[in-house]
Amino acid sequence: MVVTEPRLVGQPLPRVEDLALIQGQGQYVSDVHFDGQWAMALVRSPHAHAKILSIEVAAAKELAGVKAVITADPFEELKRPLPGMAPIAPPPLAYDRVFYVGQPVALILADNRYVAEDAAELVSVQYEALPALTDAIEAAADTLVLHPELGTNTLDRVQYESGEGKRALENADHVIRATLRLGRVSAQPMEPRAVAAHYDAIEQQLIVYDATQSVHRAQERIAEFLNMPPERIRVIAPEVGGGFGVKNGTYPEEALVVWCAVHFNNPVKWAGDRFEEFLSTYQEREQIHHVELGVNHDGTLVALVDTYFQDNGAFPGGGMIVCRTTARNLPGPYRIPHLFIDGRAVLTNKVPQAPYRGAGRPQGHYIIERMLDRAADTLGMDRVAIRMKNLVRSDDLPYHSGIPDVVYDSGDFPRTFQDLLNLVDVDACRARQREALKNGVRLGLGLSNYVEVSAGFGFEGVKIELGDRGRIRLSTGATGQGQGHRTALAQIAADALSIPIDRIEVVEGDTGSIAKGIGTFGSRTIIMAGNATEKTSVGLIEKAKLAAAKLLEAHVEDILFEAGQFHVKGVPSVALDWAELAEQWKREGEPPLVHEDAFGSNTPTYGFGSHAMIVRVDENTAGIQIERYVIVHDGGSIVNPLLANGQVIGGTVQGLGSALYEEMIYNEDGQPLTTSFLDYRLPGANESPDIEIHHRDYPAPNNPKGYKGVGEAGIIPSQAIVLSAVEDAFRDRGLHLDFAPVTPTRLFQALAALKGGDEA
């Protein structure tokens, strides 16, 4: 008789990670203390753009407790560009010119961070200030070219055209034009970036603890920068306190810590502080779009034409994907037969950009959703109706959006939107809104649809080892930062191997555990490592059958694996479970069973959903309160609804920050003015609404387990929906908002502008 084990995939199991973390037992890079370790502090540029005339370090070197003060001179290797940042990368220490406030110029190694910071204050750098570029459109004119070797400030240009492109606008009944902006935001993970390294000269091995989202990419970068074989470098990401994309790229501090550890043959640690997180960790979102939307009288979309500029900061930072992903997201889940998209990533004198949770998805959806609102308002049409009219229908699937390689493949967008409308009860909402307005209370309803394009390239590796007493050790190249992979991957493995989940240990973020991997970003881990877990489990079972055949003295084709037991066909009474198999195999003198495999796919997954929010706006203070937030969400086959909800809620709240409060402000000289939580406001518990989530789980058709990404679902519509809701609260006044975030100041100014000269 075959006993069917209860499946763990799909169950809301509490996280195995939590017990240690809530007891303060989690070990982060800051908790690494090598014997004799030196602390590193950096001297950073106070100028956004300047020539370095001289660097005077004598006073810093003399301070008691200082071990070394390093500038790029005389070390040729510190003048080389950082790896992994084509086509233009800074050296880890600037020696000729600085391009943003916060760029490292010199470093101090000292007994502790206190002394290191004292010494940093004693380093005297003479600069000749140069004009700074702080506006992407101005920078794109190339009147001043920051990097002459590139010949232009335009780092990347993205152009897509489908149908008749721009010409199609001529055939539309209306063309709606708008200039829409998004401010710059900083991810601000709870744990700032940090790296600690120790070179073992006897073993000739470099051990690096790195708060990174990808240990294997870090290993490649370090190998390249130090010109050292990768197998002599072990990178470990211990607990990582949030990443959100910005812990995934090339940074000067990583290169400097490893170089110092090898150069001095002494352990070195740099643990960035909150100020450094604001000054030097890559930022995102900042774009300006000139949009034209062609639409017919009945609301049918004809064409979308968008010319946009992304403020990329001084270097590529985390790569050029954001500008491209923005383009891929511009059509959203709507049918737009003609597209013309022309986007530029432009270099300026600000902190470089890197993909931050969403990474172009929020920007693209912000544009199409805001333009749909404008079109509805222009046509005198309901904002719901224009969306319903243009959503991709289930019988359109698979639907090619008009962007190369973007093919929506699953689900039912209109039905999901209708489910949301029913849950919110739009008619009742409208009635309540009218009633409230009579009493001077302004309510607004915001609605937004989205598609979450995830993964779609590369692979992820998984290695599974059968240990003593049937314990399973699962290693992966995925490198979590709080997502709960150790729970989710164990659930998948427990089902695949028919083994109790408490026998499974998941190890991630260690190049010493698995030779190949890519890492955790872009909502890819469950899709890639999840499928790899299943595939590797099947491979391990095959190897175990060979072992069982030998132990049970049978042919391997006669070995059956059922309900966690191996037995010979027809002889179920003589069976080996995983523990017995491991024991007997060991007694034979055989090495432990181990199997390593990877899952690769170049097809993205397409989760989708619909959000609704109701805001209450105080007309006098321009304060915005969220009364209700409802999400209907498709995340494909869900491994653990608790974790999936956590991702959606976390993303939504993080998005509310960039829609309502968060903005990195730079003055005209390129000085960042928002460099602490006093000036840069994150949403906290007070600002976070209760979020209702309703799941619609349409399995992804293009991977074996049907998984889709969920990490960015929450944040994608946030800026679009907040501006939409606030505008709706002032529909009678014709309020138009064109900048995210809509802070109270901006709303106050927009309302004052509506009143015109009425108020002195």
Residues that bind another protein (CB under 8 A): 113-114, 117-118, 121, 273-275, 676
| Cα separation values, 565 from 504, 538, 556, 561, Å | 17, 14, 14, 6
C-beta of residue 348 within 8 angstroms of C-beta of residue 317: no
* Listed residue (405, 385, 309) closest to 353, CA to CA: 309
For residues 513 and 505, give the distance between their C-alpha atoms in angstroms, rounded to a whole number: 12
Question: Which residue's CB is nearer to another protein, number 7 or number 274?
Answer: 274
190 token code pair? 């709870």
Exposure string of 547-573, with b = 16+ CB inside 10 Å and e = fewer, is: bbbebbebeeeebbbeebbbbbeeeee
- Least CB distance from residue 275 to another protein, whole Å? 5
Question: Which residue's CB is nearer to another protein, number 275 or number 457?
Answer: 275
- Least CB distance from residue 209 to another protein, whole Å? 21
Question: Which residue's CB is nearer to another protein, number 138 or number 273?
Answer: 273
Please count the CA atoms within 13 angstroms of the CA of 515 that sit on its side-chain side. Answer: 6
Question: Which residue's CB is nearer to another protein, number 121 or number 142?
Answer: 121
* Listed residue (309, 308, 307, 317) closest to 350, CA to CA: 317
- Least CB distance from residue 205 to another protein, whole Å? 31
C-beta of residue 352 within 8 angstroms of C-beta of residue 313: yes
The C-alpha angle with vertex 678 and arms to 674 and 683, in degrees rounded to 5, equals: 95
- Least CB distance from residue 530 to another protein, whole Å? 39
For residues 103 and 100, give the distance between their C-alpha atoms in angstroms, rounded to a whole number: 6
- Least CB distance from residue 140 to another protein, whole Å? 35
Helices (H), 34-175: 58-62, 113-122, 136-140
- Least CB distance from residue 429 to another protein, whole Å? 32
Question: Which residue's CB is nearer to another protein, number 667 or number 676?
Answer: 676
Question: Which residue's CB is nearer to another protein, number 274 or number 569?
Answer: 274
Question: Which residue's CB is nearer to another protein, number 52 or number 115?
Answer: 115
Question: Which residue's CB is nearer to another protein, number 274 or number 400?
Answer: 274
* Listed residue (117, 114, 95, 115) closest to 105, CA to CA: 95
Phi, psi dihedral angles at 407 (to 5 degrees):
-130, 105
Helices (H), 631-740: 641-660, 718-729
- Least CB distance from residue 212 to another protein, whole Å? 22
- Least CB distance from residue 721 to another protein, whole Å? 29
For residues 494 and 501, give the distance between their C-alpha atoms in angstroms, rounded to a whole number: 5
Question: Which residue's CB is nearer to another protein, number 257 or number 630?
Answer: 257
Question: Which residue's CB is nearer to another protein, number 272 or number 651?
Answer: 272
For residues 726 and 379, give the distance between their C-alpha atoms in angstroms, rounded to a whole number: 20
**What is the per-residue DSSP string for 246-314?**
TTSS--HHHHHHHHHHHHTTS-EEEE--HHHHHHHS-EE--EEEEEEEEE-TTS-EEEEEEEEEEE--S
Question: Which residue's CB is nearer to another protein, number 273 or number 738?
Answer: 273
* Listed residue (631, 606, 592, 575) closest to 702, CA to CA: 606
For residues 419 and 633, give the distance between their C-alpha atoms in angstroms, rounded to a whole number: 11
- Least CB distance from residue 273 to another protein, whole Å? 4
- Least CB distance from residue 113 to another protein, whole Å? 5
- Least CB distance from residue 684 to another protein, whole Å? 10
- Least CB distance from residue 270 to another protein, whole Å? 13
**What is the per-residue DSSP string for 10-66?**
T--PPPTTHHHHHTT----GGG---TTPEEEEEEE-S-SSEEEEEEE-HHHHHSTTE
Question: Which residue's CB is nearer to another protein, number 512 or number 744?
Answer: 744
Handedness of CA 669, 675, 679, 684 (dihedral sign): positive
- Cα 369 to chain centroid distance, Å, stands at 21
